[in-house]
Amino acid sequence: MWRVLDLYRRLLAVQIRAQLQYRIAFWFDLLGTAGITTLEFGTLALILQRFENVGGWKLGEVAFLYGLIDMAFGTMDMLFSGFDPPFFGQQVRQGRFDQLLLRPVNITLQVLGSRFEMRRLGRIAQGGLIVGAALALTKAHWTLAKVIYLPVVFVSQVSFFGGLFIVGATITFWTVESIEVINIFTYGGNEMMCYPMHVYPDWMRRFFTFVVPAIFLNYYPALYFLDKPDPFNMPPFVSFLAPVAGLGVLVAALAFWRFGIRHYASTGS
C-alpha cells in the first residue's frame, strides 16, 4: 500500500515539475480555466439582475449548485485527467497504453498518475469562491448534520464525474477514437447540474434520474442544504442518496474498466 502511494506521489511530482517549467504559460492556463467559470457565472449573475430567478431559484441558490459542481468537476478533472477520453484515446492510438501494461505496477494507478492537470486549480478556486458567495447570499440554516454531509456530497460528485471519465476512456479500447458523445454526459452533465433540475424537460430529467443518476448528486442534496421543498414529491431520504449514486457510478465504471482491459487488443502501433 505504501509503495503504491509513494509511486503515485512520485508520478504526480514529475507532472507538477513539468507543468511549472513554462511559468507564464501555466498562469495563463490557470487564468483561462478559472475564467470560463467566472465568465459563465458572471453572465448569469448579470442577467439575473433583470430576471431575478431561474425557475424560482434566486442567485444565491443557483450559485450553491453552480459552485459546488464546478469545484467537484474541477477536482475530478485534475485527479482523473489521465482518463480524460480524448487524451486516453490518443494514448491507446499511439500504443502508449501498451507500454504502461508492460510495467509491473497496477494499471489504474499508472493511468491516474500519467496526467495531472494543475491548471484545474483555477477552476476549483473559482468554484470555491462561488460557493462562498452562495453561503453569504442564502439564509439557509446550517446544522451540524449539514456541515458533515456537505463534504460527503462533494466527494460523491467527484466520484460520479470520475466514473464517467473512466467509462469514456474504456470505450476507446473498442472505438480507438474518443467518442465525443461522452461529452454530453461529462461536460453536458456538469453544465446541466449547475441549474435546478426542474427547469429541464421531463424526458431529460428522467434520463438524468434513472439512467445517469445526476439528480441525486446536486439537486436533491441542495434541496436539503437550502431547506427547499421538492416539486416532485420524492421521499425525503432521496436527498441522502448522493454517496450511493456517486460511489455506485465509480464502482460500476471501474468494473467496466477491468472488463475493458481484459478484452483489450492493442492497435498494434
Contact residues for other proteins (CB under 8 A)?
Answer: 22, 24-29, 31-33, 35-36, 39-40, 42-44, 46-51, 53-56, 119, 177, 179-181, 183-184, 188, 191-192, 195-196, 199-201, 204
Give the span between the Cα atoms of 14 and 110, in whole angstroms: 13
Given the complex with other proteins, which of 112 and 222 has the nearer CB atom? 222
Give the span between the Cα atoms of 152 and 74, in whole angstroms: 16
- The total of other beta-carbon atoms located within 10 Å of residue 149's CB is 19
At closest approach, how far in Å is the CB of 170 from other proteins? 17
Given the complex with other proteins, which of 180 and 227 has the nearer CB atom? 180
At closest approach, how far in Å is the CB of 31 from other proteins? 6
At closest approach, how far in Å is the CB of 189 from other proteins? 10
To 5 degrees, how large is the angle CA 260–CA 266–CA 269? Answer: 150
At closest approach, how far in Å is the CB of 89 from other proteins? 12
Rg (Cα) of the chain, in Å, rounded? 19
Given the complex with other proteins, which of 121 and 179 has the nearer CB atom? 179
Residues 6 or more apart whose CB falls under 8 angstroms from that of 194 comprise 62, 65, 66, 69, 70
- Provide the greatest CA pair distance for the chain: 60
Given the complex with other proteins, which of 3 and 50 has the nearer CB atom? 50
At closest approach, how far in Å is the CB of 237 from other proteins? 27
Given the complex with other proteins, which of 56 and 95 has the nearer CB atom? 56
Contact call for residues 253 and 160 (beta carbons, < 8 A): no
